[in-house]
Chain A
Amino acid sequence: MIINHPLLGPRDAAEFVYLGDASLMNRPDWQSTDAGNQFYEYQYLRDNPAGELRELWYHEQGDRSWLVVTRNTLTHAISKVELARDVKLQEINSKTKTTAAAKKGKKA
């Protein structure tokens, strides 16, 4: 498999270490009342789809960046590669925007 790194171009998958489903980026809130159950599900249960899967790859033999790779588990075809950092920042930005919008809405 060749992973098209957003900064470095096409790289052999053997340069990477595989972690698993990209949902592992979203740690549950440790202060929530249901934290035990949430962490059990986060740590141990997987969707394990036969088809498209977003997953985390670490470029250990390269620039040591974490990537979110969208790959088909039936064909090994890779359709999208993003820096995990960008994915997380986008998520945070969209969250702050929505909370800001909600605050504005309250004031109005």
Chain B
Amino acid sequence: MRYSALKVFKEAMTGHKGWEPVWREPEPKAEYDVIVIGGGGHGLATAYYLAKEFGITNVAVLEKGWIGGGNVGRNTTIIRSNYLLPGNTPFYELSMKLWENLEQDFNYNAMVSQRGVMNLYHSDAQRDAYVRRGNAMIMAGVDAELLNREQLQKECPFLDFDNARFPIMGALAQRRGGSVRHDAVAWGYARGADSRGVDIIQNCEVNGFVMDKGVCKGVTTNRGTIKAKKIAVCVAGSSGKVMSYAGMRLPIESHVLQAFVSEGLKPVIPGVLTFGAGHFYVSQSDKGGLVFGGDIDGYNTYAQRGNLPVVEDVCEGGMALMPMIGRARLLRMWGGVMDMSMDGSPFIDKTGIDGLYFNGGWCYGGFKATPASGFCYAHLIAKDQPHEFAQELRLDRFMRGHLIDEKGVGAQPNLH
């Protein structure tokens, strides 16, 4: 079934009786070519690109709960590719290009809205750093634009420009950044993968790997043992737990990031705004809610909830940036568990165990990377060679000393 305006019109005329389930609910087979562990955005995207780009359709996606119930349902839906370092920029730009054609590609409305991302600066030094970042982006083929105070004031008159402590001097804008309807990303990829023959198996929790002479040959689950030639782990947030079944220690700690939504308001914020003097970022959803967040809580946790000091810190950041936010009432808040890596950058790599592949360490930047992560991971699984834009995202980079540390804070995951 293809979605189109004509189809919507036809269904409206015939009482909406012709809509079908978007994916099947198959029983797991005994063996597959590839098993993807984790039915989140990245796992479903991996299965989709495996089937579509690399012709591997005998694939199962195993999900312990329901698909899209993890971090793809718990983020702040922002997409951008404003990275500085060579290992990151081409990868995130590939992701941005995939976002731009995503809806046509998988025939599903993901509400990709390129309304712009603005990183505010508050001092001369910070402006210089943003000029450098902007130039690095432009050299890598990404769009970047430096706005001064007057230009920014025209677009965002509501900001507290004359804040006594952190006056706003301007912003680095990426106009192609924006936001996406997060659930639709998971559903669209699931539908696209399913229609090409991928089995999406929900309520199927992996609790071990089948190892034979050092080669990974399958997984044990609460629904029995399933064999496969290649097993691809894609469970950011729970990577430490799942990889411990294979006896692996990772350069990753699990941390919680909280996010918040206000009640629905009429349109007040044009794009995505980030505060440069504290950790606070905000955008407005299509339903009108202000979606905002800040720092991670800072201690290891697998609980999908945080503590109050960070809530206070985030709200203080919001008040310092745009005092009008104090009039909005908070509707919901939640926490998502992040794979915080040792340099703030992710991994798409082989594991050293034959047949076992790893994708994780996305810190709090996993959502924007979803299409490129799926694409590059599928490339790695299909060809056993890293994609050219993901070849720096390796597990052994700490051993080699080739870190991709955007913030330059060292091996301290709660500071990235």
Which residues of A are interface residues toward B (Cβ below 8 A)?
1, 12-14, 18-21, 40-41, 43-50, 53, 55, 71, 73-76
Q: Are A20 and B413 in contact, with the CB atoms below 8 A? A: yes
Contact partners of B302 in chain A: CB under 8 A: 50, 73-74
Q: Are B254 and A45 in contact, with the CB atoms below 8 A? A: no
Q: Are B398 and A48 in contact, with the CB atoms below 8 A? A: no
Q: Are A73 and B298 in contact, with the CB atoms below 8 A? A: no
Query: 6 closest pairs, A vs B, by CB?
Result: A48-B240, A14-B309, A44-B398, A45-B249, A50-B302, A44-B251
Q: Are A46 and B240 in contact, with the CB atoms below 8 A? A: yes
Which residues of B are interface residues toward A (Cβ below 8 A)?
238, 240-241, 244, 249-254, 298-303, 307, 309, 342, 398-399, 411-414
Contact partners of B299 in chain A: CB under 8 A: 1, 13, 18, 55, 71
Contact partners of A20 in chain B: CB under 8 A: 253, 300, 412-414
Q: Are B309 and A13 in contact, with the CB atoms below 8 A? A: yes
Question: With A18-B414, A20-B413, A40-B399 given, is the CB distance from A48 to B300 under 8 Å?
Answer: yes
What CA separation (Å) do A48 and B251 show in the bound complex?
A: 9
What CA separation (Å) do A43 and B401 show in the bound complex?
A: 12
Q: Are B301 and A43 in contact, with the CB atoms below 8 A? A: no
- Considering only CB atoms, which chain B residue lies closest to A17 in the complex? B298
- Considering only CB atoms, which chain B residue lies closest to A46 in the complex? B253
- Considering only CB atoms, which chain A residue lies closest to B401 in the complex? A40
Q: Are B250 and A48 in contact, with the CB atoms below 8 A? A: yes
Q: What are 27 A-B pairs with beta-carbon distances under 8 A?
A: A18-B299, A19-B412, A20-B300, A20-B412, A20-B413, A20-B414, A44-B251, A44-B398, A44-B399, A45-B251, A46-B253, A47-B240, A47-B244, A47-B249, A48-B240, A48-B241, A48-B252, A48-B254, A49-B241, A49-B244, A50-B238, A50-B240, A53-B300, A73-B254, A73-B300, A73-B301, A76-B303
What CA separation (Å) do A55 and B251 show in the bound complex?
A: 16
Contact partners of B342 in chain A: CB under 8 A: 43-44
- Considering only CB atoms, which chain B residue lies closest to A55 in the complex? B300
Contact partners of B238 in chain A: CB under 8 A: 50
B interface, over-half SS: mixed
Could you tell me the distance in whole angstroms from the C-beta of A9 to the nearest C-beta in chain B? Answer: 19
A interface, over-half SS: mixed
**Most interface-central of B238, B253, B299 (chain A CB within 10 A):** B299
Q: Are B240 and A44 in contact, with the CB atoms below 8 A? A: no
**Most interface-central of A21, A40, A45, A73 (chain B CB within 10 A):** A73
Cross-chain contact of A45 among B250, B303, B414 (Cβ < 8 A) = B250
What CA separation (Å) do A44 and B252 show in the bound complex?
A: 8
Cross-chain contact of A49 among B240, B298, B309, B411 (Cβ < 8 A) = B240
Contact partners of B254 in chain A: CB under 8 A: 48, 50, 73
Could you tell me the distance in whole angstroms from the C-beta of A40 to the nearest C-beta in chain B? Answer: 5
Question: With A18-B298, A73-B301, A73-B302 given, is the CB distance from A48 to B309 under 8 Å?
Answer: no
Contact partners of A73 in chain B: CB under 8 A: 254, 300-303
- Considering only CB atoms, which chain A residue lies closest to B413 in the complex? A20
Contact partners of B412 in chain A: CB under 8 A: 19-20
Contact partners of A46 in chain B: CB under 8 A: 240, 249-253
Contact partners of A21 in chain B: CB under 8 A: 300
What CA separation (Å) do A74 and B249 show in the bound complex?
A: 19
What CA separation (Å) do A18 and B309 show in the bound complex?
A: 14
What CA separation (Å) do A40 and B251 show in the bound complex?
A: 10
What CA separation (Å) do A68 and B62 show in the bound complex?
A: 38
Contact partners of A41 in chain B: CB under 8 A: 249
Could you tell me the distance in whole angstroms from the C-beta of B340 to the nearest C-beta in chain A? Answer: 10
Could you tell me the distance in whole angstroms from the C-beta of B20 to the nearest C-beta in chain A? Answer: 38
What CA separation (Å) do A101 and B299 show in the bound complex?
A: 40
Contact partners of A48 in chain B: CB under 8 A: 240-241, 249-250, 252-254, 300
**Most interface-central of B302, B411, B414 (chain A CB within 10 A):** B302
Could you tell me the distance in whole angstroms from the C-beta of B313 to the nearest C-beta in chain A? Answer: 9
What CA separation (Å) do A21 and B251 show in the bound complex?
A: 12
Question: With A48-B252, A49-B240, A50-B241 given, is the CB distance from A43 to B411 under 8 Å?
Answer: yes
Q: Are B252 and A74 in contact, with the CB atoms below 8 A? A: no
Could you tell me the distance in whole angstroms from the C-beta of B315 to the nearest C-beta in chain A? Answer: 14
Contact partners of B411 in chain A: CB under 8 A: 43-44
What CA separation (Å) do A108 and B122 show in the bound complex?
A: 73
What CA separation (Å) do A41 and B342 show in the bound complex?
A: 12
